[in-house]
Structure formats: structure tokens, C-alpha cells
Homo-oligomer: A and B are copies of this chain.
Amino acid sequence: MSNTYSLVNPFDNSPLGEYEYTPWATLENQLAMLKEGQLSQRKTAAFQRAGVLNKLAALLKEHSEEMATLITQETGKTILDSRVEMMRAYNAAIASAEEARQIQGESLDSDAYAPAGGKIGVVCWKPLGTILCITPFNFPINIAIHKIGPAYAAGNTILFKPGPQNTASAQLLVKLCYEAGMPENTLQLCMPEFSDLDRLNAHPDVNAINFTGGTAAANAISAAAGYKKLLLELGGNDPLIVMDDGDLEAATTAAINHRFATAGQRCTAAKRLFIHANVYEAFRDLLVEKSSKLVVGDPMKDDTFVGPVINQGAADQIRTLIEQAIEDGASVALGNQYEGAFVYPTILENVSPTSEIMVEEAFGPVMPLYKFESVEEIIPIINNTAYGLQAGVFSQNLATIKELYEQLDVGTLAANDGPGFRTEHFPFGGVKESGIGREGIKYAIREMSYTKTLVI
């Protein structure tokens, strides 16, 4: 009997079940089967892969409420949040189906450079092989589809390792994939023991690793993997900037949606707010007023906005960051209240720019507000973090928007939206320690493919 792990619901610690880790021998069999599956994928036409992914989208819609409930039980995300995630997962599956048909390469004229050879370079994009897809707990299904969808669309086979916390939803997802027509030798679910992770990442039949999660795990992967294609979507310490011509109504709503939803547990959450001095008080008061009305409680209830964080340990970590910020001189405009895995929406003021909460990633519902006079003042502060994922700015001033766009170390700057802006077909990913490579279905397909050129 292999080792097991048990799961509880972060809201009420009710047991969610006990599961077995995947023994190494089984992992090796799965990889051998998936290597076999690469040949059957080669014989599966693009329109057939599109068909399977369209059926998967329909099944995700059909099982949407069942899956949303599972997500909420596993993660403590509110049921509203989980339903939005399922709508996004549906979109990502549709996008994967449609992008499966769009995989095209270039035809090149050899005679662009001497010597003339009169040849045509027929450049096609082919699948890398077997992709190890590793997903985090906070968006278990949407992030899984954003990996499995494009990986399968490109013709790869997939070893899917979800966050342990999401075993049940992952099992249901894989079941739906098989039901949609994905053969078992193209998709396998696994839950390796921590001790097996290094040799799994290093395994020669893992051709690429597509990982979303934290920096520590990313470092372990890249050290063990050898020269494989690594797609790493990591943390963020994203700023939300409100200029003095910004729409305060929209900005406060975005701050709340992009920081207190999912109890702040998003890589693209608005983790630091920079408010122009001319509108600071007005913004702060509106933010506190709206935030204080948010329902904190049972995530299964429709009117709950903030559920628990993933576990007590996470809550303690956030509490430490908040208390340390207060020690550094910050004052509490709202919150600084805790209850088990619950962290109440917290708004801090007068936060020192070098306080850890401003430099490190705080994975919970806490908003440090920073008052500033000029954009030049905050650019170095914003860039003074290991991360560089996304940023949001509320302003209509084109010059300000372009300056922030040029100067900030980010993958995306969303004007008049929060840093959590994401659509299925825009490139998604950051710089610095926020990772390498891009998601967004069309871009993910390219990342998980290589060029194969026929010169005729």
C-alpha cells in the first residue's frame, strides 16, 4: 500500500477524503503509455483534436455547478468565484479547440539570402512530446485547462499533476477529458510523492514541464529537469496604480475584485496599491466603505465574497506580514482580524516601501496603500521586487500610461483595469522571477511545439 494523504475543507476542516500517492513504478508506466500516446496523437488530425476539446468544453458547462462546488470545498474559494472560474475554463477549452485548427507555420524562400538555392522552407509546428503539467490550488480547473487544452491541441500527451488539495476536482476533470474523447494514452493523472518530484522532472520521457506555482518549486524543477523546455508561471507582486484623473468608482471595484476575491490568493492579485496624493483620501474612504460591506463567511453561500485562505498556515503567514508592516509604521484602515483560516479584508496605510509586505508576495486579502506625488517616484518602488507579472493603472492620460508601460518590469499593463486582467487569447506571463514563457492559448501552443522544417 503506497503512502496516502488526507484533505480537509479549509472552511470547516471537514474531511474531503484520503488519497494514495502515485508510486514511482506507476509513474514510469504512465510515462511509457504517454510516449506510446505520442504516436496515436500524430495520427489524430487537428480537426479531431478540435472536436474532442469542443466536447470537453460542453462537458465542463454541463458539470459546471458540480465542479464549482468541488473547487469551493477544496480551496475555500466562494461559490461565485468558482462559477466564474468554470466559465473561464469553458472559454479556455473552446479557445483550445479553435486554436488546434490555427496551428500553421511559414513557407520561406531560400533565396532571400545568397547563395540562391531555389528552395522552399516549409516550416511546420510539431508537438514537443509528453508535457508534465503542474497546477496550483487557487484556480485548479481553469489553469489546468490553460495547460491541458493547448498541450493536447498541439498534439502532445500530458502527465497532469494537480495540487494535492484539488485531487477530487482533478479526477473529475480527467474523467470528463476521457469522456470527451481523449484516449488514456494522451492524458494521465498523477500525484507523486514529494521525494519522487526531482527524478520525475528529470525523467527522459518528460519532454517539457508546464508549471504554475511558487519560486521555490520552480528552482527545484529547473535544477532537476536538465535541458527541457520549461514554462514557469510563477508569483507576482502586482501593483494597482490610481492616478488623480482615475475613475475612483471603477478603481475601488477593481481593487476589491482583484484583491479580496479568492481571498487574495491570485498570482495577479493587486498586492500593492499606489494612490495619487490628490485623490488618496477620497479613494481610501470609498475603498474602506465598500470593503467593510463584503460578506466574509461560508464560501458555499452565494452572498459570501471572502472565504478562508487555503489553510491555517497560510493565514498565519499573512498575519505575520501584516503585523510586521504595522511594526514598520503602517496603520490599519480596515481589518487586521483573523479567525482560523479566515483573514478578514485588511487595508493598511503609511506602509514603508521597503516593508516585506511591499517587496514579497502576500498571498491573502491585504491591501497596503501607498500615497505618491509623481509616477517617477513610484516606478523604482514598484520595480523593487523580484517579481514582474502584471500591473493595472487607472488613468486616461496616454503619456502616463505609456511611461508606465515602458518603465515597469511586467508582462502586461492593463489601463483602467486591475492587474488581474486576463483573456484566453492575450499572452499571459511575466518577467524576472514571475517566470519564463507565455500562456494564452495561441502562445502556449507555440511554447509546447517546435519547428520542423521541410526544405524542398
Interface residues of A (CB under 8 A from B): 42, 45-48, 50, 87, 91, 94-95, 98, 100-114, 116-124, 128, 218-219, 221-223, 225-230, 232, 234, 395-402, 405-406, 410-417, 421, 423-427, 429, 431, 435-436, 438, 443, 450-456
Contacts and interface: CB of A to CB of B under 8 A. Distances in A.
B429 A46 contact: no
B412 A452 contact: yes
A425 B101 contact: yes
A227 B427 CA distance: 19
Contacts of A113: 47, 91, 94-95, 101, 423-425
Nearest to A112: B101
Contact of A124 (B109, B423, B435, B451): B109
B425 A108 contact: yes
A118 B413 CA distance: 16
Contacts of A413: 452-455
B101 A427 contact: no
Contact of A398 (B110, B415, B421): B415
Contacts of A122: 107, 120, 122
A412 B455 contact: yes
Contacts of A415: 398, 454-456
Contacts of A116: 45, 47-48
Nearest to A451: B427
- 8 shortest A-B CB distances, which residue pairs? A45-B111, A45-B116, A101-B112, A427-B451, A414-B455, A222-B227, A412-B453, A105-B107
A375 B124 CA distance: 22
A105 B406 CA distance: 15
Contacts of A450: 411, 429, 431, 438
A424 B229 CA distance: 24
Given A109-B46, A226-B222, A101 B98 contact: yes
B405 A112 contact: no
Number of copies: 4
A212 B112 CA distance: 25
A96 to B, nearest CB: 12
B123 A107 contact: yes
Contact of A226 (B42, B108, B117, B219): B219
Contacts of A398: 395-398, 401, 415-416, 456
B104 A106 contact: yes
Nearest to A386: B204
A343 to B, nearest CB: 29
A26 to B, nearest CB: 25
A120 B406 CA distance: 11
A97 B426 CA distance: 19
Contacts of A98: 98, 101-102
Contacts of A412: 452-455
Nearest to A94: B113
A229 B116 CA distance: 30
Given A414-B455, A415-B455, A107 B107 contact: yes
Given A87-B114, A105-B107, A431-B452, 6 more contacts: A91-B113, A110-B426, A222-B222, A397-B397, A398-B415, A412-B454
A210 to B, nearest CB: 13
Contacts of A401: 398, 454, 456
A119 B405 CA distance: 12
B451 A411 contact: yes
A453 B223 CA distance: 30
A42 B403 CA distance: 13
Contacts of A120: 122, 124, 454
B108 A426 contact: yes
Contacts of A417: 117, 119, 455
The residue among A103, A401, A427 with the most chain B CB atoms within 10 A of its own CB is A427
A452 B101 CA distance: 21
20 contacts: A45-B114, A45-B118, A46-B111, A98-B101, A102-B112, A103-B109, A104-B108, A104-B109, A107-B107, A108-B426, A122-B122, A219-B227, A222-B222, A227-B230, A398-B398, A402-B456, A411-B450, A427-B451, A427-B453, A429-B450
